[in-house]
Each structure stands twice: as structure tokens, then as C-alpha cells.
Amino acid sequence: MCINKIIKLVNCGPTFALLFLLSSVYNANADVFIPFEQTIADQYNMPSSSIQEVEEVTEPVAVVSFEQTIEDQYNSPYALTEIQVKDVSEEVFDYSLYDPNEEKNRKTFEFHQKLDKNLFKPLARTYRDVVPEGGRKAIKNFLHNLETPTVLINDVLQGEQERAGTTVNRFVINTTVGFLGFGDPATDLGYDRHSEDFAQTLATYGVESGPYSYSPIFGPTTSRHTTGRVIDFLTHPLTWYFTDQDATVGLTYGATRVVSTRENLLDALEDVEMDSTDYYVSIRNMYRQMRENQINNGLFGDDPSQFSIDTSIDLNLVF
Amino acid sequence: MFKLTKTILKIFLIALIINPESSLANEGCDNALLFANELTDSTIEILNSNELTNNQKKSHISDLLTINVDFTTMGKIMLGKYARKINEEQELIYYEIIEKMVSKTIYDRLETNDDPDIMYSISNDNCREKGSKGKEFLVDGDVMKNNSRLASIRWWLILNKDNEFKVVDLNLAGLSLTLQKKEEFTSYLSNKSIDMLIADLSKKFN
């Protein structure tokens, strides 16, 4: 039965599947930005496990002697501390994502930007011009409500009882009082939206993120995130529901998701692109930071060495 | 019973005496929290104002940041290992642009409140010392939209030699501005020169 459904999905719903996956591209980007009108749950949810070890530092980056202070070294007004000598051959941590295929990723990114400029962005602009703000918000709420099964499954897999309760309460309230999820009275009642996905679950189980890549389908991603997305896709009830429907149903859902998410990011992406000296790196960094934050359930990690001016290991990172 | 209480008190006092740094750290954190709260109150007052135009808000925020942000340290962190390669002449222009860039970026991240019914607030309620010298602090809080929690916020503060707190990073909803720019700049500088970076930034922010 299950295998039949998979076959049917592959045979009958490729367009839907493509749109569903394409919508993930924008969902990935959606993780990156922080417009204030979005709920915290839009932004959130990562432990420090994404920290990647990188190759040995071959060049003595700002290694200074015991006697030297930051002030001596960098003409800083802050004479913070004496800095310990650090052996440059020692392993250091780099908090940027490991991007071994940067050249290839950049090409995919460029292609994706062209596609975005000529297709998704104009569609999103038209959507903004045609549909009033209230309507767009209702559609966004409705789509969020449909994500409940994925969120709930992963809340449970992560042993997050309280968050699972919130997810259930949100679903019940928004589906009933909120007219099938078009409204979001649950947030007003104190049940803030949060996101969970299988990649976050893997991260909480200690699975490393793997190298960063820019996928034509998923946008910014890592091997862990890609695996998670595929599992999320296959475990989502809608995926199976759409296999029994006319292809247009799935198409409409996928297209709406893509356009709605892209519209939501119009201003934020424009700001980032305008202010960035390297848009590809900006997206990569923001993706990493937002994923970390999501896996941490919106809380800051407790890693005190993440950035500090006055410790030697951090000095290697910072200066 | 009385003896036991006395012993506990003694142990507590001894612990305080042999670890005076903990009380100093608390004092530092109290001041850091005070600083962060004053700064956020002023910021929120500007952002929530119905009387100010967007341009006026931008200008007020920029003035506030000029006083409270250490653009020099921020700029150095952003340059990463290339901070050592910048010369005095370049520094003059670079830090000026960093100030403009940081002000604009922070404003862009905070601004979007055109609805008078939406009130933002920030409560900073957690502080911890970073490093071992009592000069760096991380102050964490929440950004609230009306009464609902919207995002977490983290200030990375540093105490300068005049004993003034200055901001060296703002992390909003997990996005650290300084670390984001650091990755961007160091990647850029791995292929291009500091002069090119400055020229590029000038084009964008001047």
C-alpha cells in the first residue's frame, strides 16, 4: 500500500513534488530573515553542534605573546587582557559553515538568483499588489497551520512535551476559532508558533550538519538539512493526500507556498542584497546562524567561547 | 541546630572572601544590564514614536548608536585576521563607513513599525560575564510585540578604559550582525584588497 503510494506520488505528482520542494527553497531563505511582523516561531528554533572543525590554521593569525595586549596589537582603546600564546598548529574551530564546494555552490546560487529575478520575485510582487495585506496574512497562517504534523512529530521526537502541547493547542484553536487556520487566535492566547523539522531533530541527536551546499531545489542547505527535508516531505500527511487528488490541487498548494513565502521575504532580501559585499556569503552566514538558533529553540547557545575578545582561541577567530 | 546554621554562614562568608570576583562580576553585570536597559528604552521610545517620521527615527537611532556603539572594535572584529593589514589612512575611511553601515543595518532590522496599535518593547533580564577580565558581558533579553515574545536579543558589551559600556555586537533572533559581516569581509578579503573593500562599502553606504 505504502509502496503503491510512493510509486503513485512519483508517477502522478511530479509537478506537485517539484513545487513542494521548490517551496522549501524559500522556506530555507525564510529562516534567514527577521522581519518584526513575523512571529518568533518563524524565526526560530539549534545547539552548538553545527560548529565545524576546519583545517589547521597555517598562517599565524594574530597570535600574540603574553606581554602584548589587544591595545598593543590592534591599537584598540581597550586594554583588555594579556593574551596567551597559542600554537598555530593546534586545531581551532571555525564558526563559519564548512563549504568545500564553494565554487560550484556559487554557480548554482547565480543560476538561482536569475530564476528568482525573472520568475519568483515578479510573481511575489504581483501577489503583493493584488492580494491585500489581511488576505496575505490569512494565507500565511493557513499554510503554517498545515505544517502542524511535521512540527508535532518532531516536537515529540525531540522529547519537547511542552512544545508538543503548544503545537496541538495551536492547531485545535486555529482550526476551529481561527476558521481552518486562516486566523491565528492561538498566538494571542499565548501559544506562540514555533517551527520544528527533522533536520533539527537530527541535530538534537548529535548528527553533524555536514558540508554546506547551495542546492537548486533546496537553496541553502547542508547534508543533514537535505536529509531532514526529504523525511519531512515523505512523512507529511499532505504529501499522501495529494497523491489521491487531481494534480492541480497539489500544484496550487505548492505554488501558493512558494509565492507567499517569497513575498514575505521581498523587503528583507532586498536589504541584505543591497548592503552586502558578497551576497552569497551573507546568505550562507545567515542561514547558518538562523539554523543554529532554530535548533536551540530560539535561545542563545551557552557556548561562552563563541565570541570573546580576550581568550586566545577566540582571538584566532576574531582577529 | 544553631551550630549548624553558624557553620553554614561561616562557609558562605569564607567562600565570599576567597572568591571576591563573583561579587565583582555581579556588579559588572548589574551595570551592564542597566546600560542595556537604558539603551533599549531609548531605542524603543524612538521606534514606537508616532510623532517622528521614518527619516527622523533613523537619524535619532543613528545618534544613539554613535554614543553607545564601539564602531572601531566592531570594525576590527569584522576584518578578522585582516585587521592587522589595515593602515592608518584606510582606517580613517573604514571606521566612518562602518558607523554608517552598522547604523543602517541595525535600523533596518529594528524598523517596520508603521502600525500604531503595535507596540514593541525589549526586556533585558539576563547577563553573564565573558572572558576572565570582567570587561566583556553578554546581556540577553526578549523583544516583545505587544504582549507576545517576538525574538530573543543579545547585546555583546565591552567596558572600555574609561569604564563606559559600549556595544560591539547586536544579535537579534540568532543573527549576529558583527559575525555576519566578519564572514562576509574575510571572504571578500581573501580575494581582494582592503582598498577594494573600502571602495565597495563607500559605494553602498556613503
Q: Taking CB atoms and an 8 Å limit, are B135 and A310 in contact across chains? A: yes
Domain assignment present for B7: no
Nearest Cα of chain A lies from the Cα of B48 at a distance, in angstroms, of 13
Q: Taking CB atoms and an 8 Å limit, are A77 and B160 in contact across chains? A: yes
Domain assignment present for B159: yes
The predicted-structure confidence for B137-158, as pLDDT tens digits, reads as follows 999 998 887 777 788 889 999 8
- Walking along chain A (319 residues) 10 residues at a time, the average pLDDT comes out as 43 44 49 38 35 41 36 36 34 58 95 93 96 95 94 96 96 96 93 93 94 87 94 90 89 92 90 92 92 86 50 36
Nearest Cα of chain B lies from the Cα of A159 at a distance, in angstroms, of 23
pLDDT given at position A76: 36
- Residue B192 structural domain: 25-205
The predicted-structure confidence for A248-296, as pLDDT tens digits, reads as follows 998 999 899 999 999 999 988 898 999 999 999 999 999 998 998 899 8
**Contact status of B148 with chain A (Cβ, < 8 Å):** yes
Nearest Cα of chain B lies from the Cα of A301 at a distance, in angstroms, of 9
Q: ipTM score here? A: 0.81
pLDDT given at position A218: 77
CA torsion A175→A179→A181→A182, rounded to 10°? 180
Q: Residue B202: which pLDDT band, with cuts at 50, 70 and 90?
A: very high
Q: Taking CB atoms and an 8 Å limit, are A34 and B109 in contact across chains? A: yes
Nearest Cα of chain B lies from the Cα of A135 at a distance, in angstroms, of 17
Which chain A residue has the Cα nearest residue B158? A78
pLDDT given at position A8: 46
**Contact status of B155 with chain A (Cβ, < 8 Å):** no
A chain contacts of residue B158, beta-carbon cutoff 8 Å:
78, 80, 309
Which chain A residue has the Cα nearest residue B150? A40
pLDDT given at position A314: 39
Q: Taking CB atoms and an 8 Å limit, are A298 and B133 in contact across chains? A: no
Decide: helix, strand or coil at residue B162: coil
Average pLDDT, chain B: 84
Domain assignment present for B52: yes
pLDDT given at position A26: 52
A chain contacts of residue B104, beta-carbon cutoff 8 Å:
275
pLDDT given at position A92: 40
**Contact status of B134 with chain A (Cβ, < 8 Å):** no
Smallest Cβ–Cβ distance between B180 and the set A39, A271, A282 belongs to A282
pLDDT given at position A58: 43
> For position B169, which CATH number holds?
3.10.450.710
Percentage with pLDDT > 70 across chain B: 84
Domain assignment present for B3: no
pLDDT given at position A132: 96
Residue A52 phi, psi dihedral angles, 5° rounding: -105, 140
A35-45 as b/e: b if 16+ CB within 10 A:
bbebbbbbbbb
pLDDT given at position B116: 66
The predicted-structure confidence for B54-112, as pLDDT tens digits, reads as follows 889 889 999 999 999 999 989 998 998 898 889 999 999 999 999 999 988 888 877 65
Domain assignment present for B18: no
Nearest Cα of chain A lies from the Cα of B132 at a distance, in angstroms, of 8
Q: Which amino acid, one-letter code, is at A7?
A: I
Strands B165-172 and B175-176: antiparallel
Q: Taking CB atoms and an 8 Å limit, are A300 and B175 in contact across chains? A: no
| CA dist A261 → A125, A186, A291 (Å) | 12, 21, 17
Domain assignment present for B32: yes
The stretch B115-143 carries a mean pLDDT of 82
Q: Taking CB atoms and an 8 Å limit, are B188 and A40 in contact across chains? A: no
Q: Which amino acid, one-letter code, is at A256?
A: T
B chain contacts of residue A44, beta-carbon cutoff 8 Å:
151, 173-174
Smallest Cβ–Cβ distance between B148 and the set A80, A187, A294 belongs to A187
- The structural domain count of chain B equals 1
* Domains in chain A: boundaries: 2-51+102-301
The predicted-structure confidence for B36-60, as pLDDT tens digits, reads as follows 999 989 988 888 888 888 889 889 9
